[in-house]
Every structure is written in C-alpha cells, then in structure tokens.
Amino acid sequence: MARKKYVEDAENHERWLISYADFITLLFAFFVVMYAVSVVNEGKYRSLSDALGSAFGGKGGPDAGAPRAEIAAPIALPNIVAKRRAEAMRRERERLTSLARDLSSTLAPLVKEGKVRVTQNSRGVSVEINASVLFDSGDATLTADSREALAALGVFLRNDPHALQVEGHTDNQQIRRPAFPSNWELSAARAGAVVRLFADAGVPAERMTVVGHGSNVPVATNDTAEGRARNRRVAVTILSAVPDASTEIAPR
C-alpha cells in the first residue's frame, strides 16, 4: 500500500495583525482611562471649595453661586492693610491731640507769656521751652524755678507710653568756654539736663533720647535779639507711635 504524501501548509504572513490589533486596543483603553482620571468632577470641586471657604470665614469658593466665567476678583490685601493703618493713625492722632490739650492746660501760664509753645505735628506733640526759662545765659544748669516746672512736666509724662526726644538748640552766636567749646556741646548739655530731671521724676530712661542741634535748626532770624532769643530753646517731642504726614497744627 502506497504511503500518503504529507502536504505542508503554506506559511501565513498575516499573523502579526492579530498582535498589532491587540496592542492598539490596549493603548486605546489606556488613554481612555487616563482621560477619565484627568477630568475634574465639578460637583466635588464646588463642594470642596464651599467647605474651605466656610472654614476660613468666607462665602465659599471663588465661583460659588456664579458661573465660572463670572468669578469675582480676589480681595486686595494692600487695601485692607492701608485701611487698618489709616484707622490706627486716626486713633493715634486723637490721643496726641488730647495730650496736647492737657499739656497746654498744664503749662498755660508759660504759654500765655510766650515762653512755652505746644504744637502737634507729623512727629507727635512738641513742647518748645525758651532757654531763658530754664538756664542762665551760656549755662546748662537748670535754674531752681525751671526745675519745679520741669518736674511737674516729668510727672505728667512718666505714665505716658510714648517715646520722648529732647532737643537742644542755640542761636548762631559762638560760645567758647572750657565746658562748652562750641554750641554743639551747649545744646547737647542743656537737652541732657532736661532728660536727667525727667528721669528723676520717674520717666523711664529707655523712652528718652537726647539730641544737640547747636544753631542748625533756627525757627527765627538770628539777625535780631528777639530772633536769637527765640532760637535758644529746648524742645521736648512726644513721638507718635504711628507717624503720619499731617501738617503742623496748634491744639484747640
């Protein structure tokens, strides 16, 4: 009996299409899943936004109760800071105005005589005292009468929390003495004498600063005796805790 001849099947060259189709299907499924994950659930976003807004005292998220295209602009923080500073400046100005009135009342006799001037300006409240009330000519030792008046002022200021700057001023007539080689030393020594008296009256030393200007900050002409007398002075400035740019005003 003759053997049956085996016929070999022809090679299939299209088998790669099956693997390729499977790969494309998996890749498509991958991108579908990625897209689904990347889409924000708007309902959940609004719920989270409202919860955060309520927790921080707001009214919900930026798009709460409004279409996404109508999101309100955020609150301008610089405006809030500016309003708070303006309010603090207003309250401080009122406190200093009240303080200036009290000082004018306390020093009324000297104010009427023109020997003391109380003003309120951008730095605070300034009590300007003519040097003739405090010192003998060319000297930095307080007279007995001036010590009593300044002691009363020190008692008035010791419970006030503001910082104090005491400034000495002279006219432009040069002084040449062993103790005071120039007007710098004389003006600084006079301011220091006032500060020492305030410290003795109970004003904390850390609140006070001494400045000697010499003849560099005149308030009147040095060409006349009256102007030079006006320039010889000690200014006690109660410094504002919140400085502002207001112009100088006289207390009412």
Q: How would you classify the pairing of strands 208-212 and 164-169? A: parallel
pLDDT tens-digit readout, 85-144 = 889 889 999 999 999 999 998 888 888 988 899 999 889 999 999 999 999 989 999 999
- How far is it, in rounded angstroms, from Cα 164 to Cα 170? 20
> Domain-by-domain residue ranges, the chain?
17-66, 92-239
Tell me which amino acid residue 10 is. Answer: A
Amino acid identity for residue 120 in this structure: Q
Q: What percent of the chain has pLDDT over 70?
A: 73
Distance of CA 50 to the CA centre of its chain: 35
**Cα 252 to Cα 238: distance, rounded to the nearest angstrom:** 18
From the candidate CATH numbers 3.30.70.20, 3.40.47.10, 2.20.70.10, 3.30.1330.60, the one assigned to the domain spanning 92-239 = 3.30.1330.60
- Give the closest residue to 205 by CA, choosing from 237, 235, 176, 164: 164
C-alpha 133/C-alpha 146 separation (Å) is: 6
pLDDT, one tens digit per residue, over 180-206 is: 999 999 999 999 999 999 999 999 999
pTM of the model: 0.64
Instruction: Count other C-beta atoms under 10 Å from residue 51's C-beta.
Output: 12
